[in-house]
């Protein structure tokens, strides 16, 4: 959306792509916007909004860490009583001319202290990308699955090969409760080999 410093509130009904909730589901929805939003919204492709392939030269390796927050329930049948507030950092860090690491650090705390019944180590994380999951399993996480720590904080480092030619792709760390129900997900870019 555009900034809103308008003297005239020239509102319009706009249908555009909105992101809802911890699962980051996108959908087209109608809302009140400004008339300048109408044309941009008409050209928006909501189905492909979350795909992020960016061509980069091998000299332009993007090393970074990004902060975020989300909420994760250890039991989706009782989200109010088992909801954790999760502060996290995701990123990628070069290790050598041939390798890099995907990073995930997290710190969790109960969302509410009243009648809290959350069990932090009931929550698991599974990467959405098969190659990332395989590398995670190779780093000592059985079947490529991370179980959150009873200490409510953790550092996960996934060693990855650095392709000669690559694209920055989006994958997700998907959170599941103790009954294998998806409860949240966070985006975590990685470097994939550029296809033919």
β-pairing, 153-161 vs 99-110, is antiparallel
**Per-residue DSSP letter, 151:** T
- Domain of 168 in residue numbering reads as 54-193
The tally of CA atoms less than 13 A away on the side-chain side of residue 34 is 11
- 25 and 86 assigned to the same domain: no
- 101 and 31 assigned to the same domain: no
Give the tens place of pLDDT for each residue, 77-120: 999 999 999 999 999 998 888 999 999 999 999 998 788 999 99
Longest dimension (CA), the chain: 59
Give the total number of structural domains in the chain.
Answer: 2
Q: What is the CATH number of the domain that holds 131?
A: 2.60.40
- 126 and 184 assigned to the same domain: yes
- 105 and 155 assigned to the same domain: yes
Q: Which of 146, 125, 129 is nearest to 190 (CA)?
A: 129
85 in any annotated domain: yes
- 99 and 152 assigned to the same domain: yes
- 107 and 16 assigned to the same domain: no
What pLDDT score was predicted for residue 188? 93
- 83 and 154 assigned to the same domain: yes
Q: DSSP string of 93-129?
A: EE-SSSEEEEEEEEEEEES--TT----GGG-EEEESS
pTM exceeds 0.75, yes or no: no
Region class of 120: left (phi > 0), else alpha (psi between -120 and 50), else beta: alpha
């Amino acid at each position: 959306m555009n900034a809103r410093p308008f003297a005239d509130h020239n509102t319009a009904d706009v249908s555009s792509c909105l992101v809802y909730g911890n699962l980051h589901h996108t959908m087209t929805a109608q809302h009140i916007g400004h008339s300048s939003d109408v044309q941009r919204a008409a050209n928006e492709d909501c189905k492909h909004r979350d795909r992020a392939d960016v061509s980069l030269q091998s000299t332009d390796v993007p090393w970074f860490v990004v902060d975020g927050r989300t909420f994760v329930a250890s039991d989706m049948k009782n989200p109010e009583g088992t909801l954790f507030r999760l502060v996290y950092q995701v990123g990628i860090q070069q290790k050598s001319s041939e390798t890099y690491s995907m990073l995930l650090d997290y710190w969790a705390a109960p969302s509410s202290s009243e009648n809290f019944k959350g069990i932090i180590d009931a929550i698991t994380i599974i990467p959405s990308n098969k190659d990332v999951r395989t590398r995670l399993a190779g780093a000592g996480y059985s079947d490529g699955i991370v179980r959150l720590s009873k200490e409510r904080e953790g550092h996960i480092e996934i060693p990855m090969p650095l392709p000669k030619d690559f694209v920055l792709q989006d994958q997700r760390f998907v959170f599941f409760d103790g009954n294998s129900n998806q409860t949240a997900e966070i985006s975590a870019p990685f470097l994939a080999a550029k296809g033919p």
